[in-house]
Amino acid sequence: MFSIYKTVHPPTAIEHAVWAHFLSPLKNSLILSSANHLYVYRVTSHPSKFECLHTFVLWGNICSITPCRLNPSAILSKDALFLSFMDAKLSLIEFDSAIQDLKTLSMHYFEDELAKEGQWFNFSPPIVRVDPDMRCACMLIYNSKLVIIPFFSQLDREIITNDTIPNTT
């Protein structure tokens, strides 16, 4: 049976920190995670200080944060974030300026009995890395399995569609 879980106090230790163009394509934001909380900060120059702009409470403890730009050819595009969670879970999120909240772009779940290879507990958290050319992301799960998540541009989608759909004329 599941027991009831309630956070009495918000977490106080910072576990992950990344810089990304998360809120705006022109300004960098400092993104911090603390257990299941995600904080977005802006650094002001006069006087030099941190300003917390957004705090988001998530439904799981964050194991890693990796920023990526899904459309690297566009100059004014914001970054998205890969958030990994225990048991081979991965979410791709971005900030939606219209609603001032997070928008989930994709969710992936790679937990499988065959992939676990008999492990009862996953003692090392999943690790996510993004290709420098922004072509794909790679996630290490269960200490020995790699999961590749390709990024497709509109041109890639057109090429795949033209190659797979037979011409009827």
Q: Quick one: average pLDDT of 65-87?
A: 84
The 3-state DSSP class for residue 154 equals helix
Domain harbouring 31, CATH code: 2.130.10.10
Is 139 domain-assigned? Answer: yes
Task: Tell me phi and psi for residue 154, to 5 degrees.
Answer: -65, -35
Q: Residues 93-125: pLDDT tens digits?
A: 999 989 999 999 888 887 766 666 666 665 678
Q: Residues 119-145: pLDDT tens digits?
A: 666 567 888 999 888 888 998 887 788
Domain that holds residue 96: 16-164
Is 4 domain-assigned? Answer: no
Task: Tell me phi and psi for residue 144, to 5 degrees.
Answer: -145, -5
Query: What domain count does the chain have?
Result: 1
Is 46 domain-assigned? Answer: yes
**Looking at the chain, how many residues does it have?**
169
Is 7 domain-assigned? Answer: no
Neighbours of 142 (CB within 10 A): 18
Q: Quick one: average pLDDT of 46-52?
A: 85
Q: Quick one: average pLDDT of 139-160?
A: 75
Tell me how far apart the alpha carbons of residues 140 and 3 are, in angstroms, rounded to a whole number. 30
Confidence of residue 164 (pLDDT cuts 50, 70, 90): low
What tokens appear for 75 in the block? Answer: 């100059």
Bond before 25 cis per omega within 30 degrees = no
Is 97 domain-assigned? Answer: yes
Is 105 domain-assigned? Answer: yes
Is 146 domain-assigned? Answer: yes
Is 1 domain-assigned? Answer: no
Position 1 scores a pLDDT of 45
Q: Quick one: average pLDDT of 82-88?
A: 85
Q: Mean pLDDT over all residues of the chain?
A: 81
Q: Residues 8-39: pLDDT tens digits?
A: 778 888 999 999 999 988 889 999 999 889 99
